[in-house]
Amino acid sequence: MYTTVTELADGRELIYYDSSPGRDRTAEDRRPLDRVESSPELRRDPATGDWVTIAAHRQTRTYHPPADACPLCPSRDGRQSEIPAADYEVAVFENRFPSLSGAAGRCEVVCFTPEHEAGFADLSPGRARLVLDAWTDRTAALSARPGVAQVYCFENRGAEIGVTLPHPHGQIYAFSTPTPRTAKHLAAAAAHRAATGRNLFEDLLAEARSAEERVVLAGEHWTAFVPYAARWPYEVHLYPHRRVADLRGLDEAERAEFPGLYLDLLRRFDGLFGPTAGPTPYISAWHQAPLSGGKELALHLELFTVRRTADKLKYLAGTESGMDAFMNDVAPETAARRLREAG
């Protein structure tokens, strides 16, 4: 992996990730941009203890632009985008409309490919590995920033998820406090350790690997399975067999095997509902331990879709949105079987 760090016209950081040296990354951002002014505010909900980010400036962010005005495509034919180069492999830059900034954290955009109509599942294993290396590099860099408590890499895919830019991309958030979901993981892991003397996530992985009816894919170093109490119609968790805290802890063998398994998994998601249904919308979320107090947690990726049939979506309605009590219409064992058959 080769990196080139530069700046956009408004001072935001841009990083090119290349698989080979010698790429020309000297193109300048010539747009007349003002400096980004954002002041998100963290407020703690006294009824739950959760932190909520108020980011009113995001109401003006770019919303479903036409393909010829996509801000994530390379700058070509006289049109300037967020990426000045005429081509790139993987690019990461600070979000112009961040939910988190300053003391509250930082938000970055990760562009997986210059191809506007592609998806992550269309990447080559080599390009997927470069994305993994970029996620890892940014996790290391953001973890070293003062005030950062947790780094979260994720991808939203599809209009059904709420994506406003269809170009294949993900995001990285550097939180100043551990997320509410992570807080639940920490509490559950502590209770499990106290009750059994063992690690919760090691036990979860061991149980899943022994329950063959819920295993979707398995390699030498990773296993993808549907969790016993899946919340989403089609939900898969991908764990390395060796427990590590975050992406930085993966060894070369684990990094080498990940792209093939992950691409296979994404293509199975796309094959679930047939060709007429179109690409399957999904959220892909890396769960990494917080930088402090997370020694009982385990790096893993959670991939899920809101689509439950070819023409029906799973809406977070009264029980889910109102009470955080999930009701799943698809049995986890059925979901795993359908994903195995989709290969």
Per-residue pLDDT at 110: 98
CB 129 within 8 A of CB 201: no
Terminus-to-terminus CA distance in the chain, angstroms?
A: 31
From the list 168, 146, 147, 149, the residue with the least C-alpha distance to 157 is: 168
Mean pLDDT across the stretch 305-327?
95
Per-residue pLDDT at 21: 95
Residues with catalytic roles: 169
Phi, psi for residue 326 in degrees, rounded to 5: -80, 140
Collapsing DSSP to helix, strand or coil, 333 comes out as helix
Q: Name the DSSP class of 55.
A: -
From the list 211, 207, 230, the residue with the least C-alpha distance to 335 is: 230
Please determine, for residue 60, whether its predicted confidence score (pLDDT) is greater than 80: no
DSSP H helical segments within the chain, as ranges? 125-143, 180-196, 200-210, 252-270, 323, 332-341
Per-residue pLDDT at 207: 97
CB 103 within 8 A of CB 32: no
Per mean pLDDT, which range of 27-31, 37-41, 122-126, 251-255 is the poorest? 37-41
Sorting pLDDT into bands at 50, 70 and 90, what band is 232?
very high
CB 185 within 8 A of CB 294: no
Global model pTM greater than 0.85: yes
Locate tokens 């070509």: which residue? 76
Please determine, for residue 149, whether its predicted confidence score (pLDDT) is greater than 90: yes
pLDDT digits (tens, 9 = 90+) for 245-283: 999 999 999 999 999 999 999 999 999 999 889 999 999
Please determine, for residue 57, whether its predicted confidence score (pLDDT) is greater than 90: no
Give 17's strand partners. 3, 90
- How many other C-beta atoms lie within 10 A of the C-beta of residue 227? 19
Mean pLDDT across the stretch 4-9?
98
Type of residue found at 16: Y
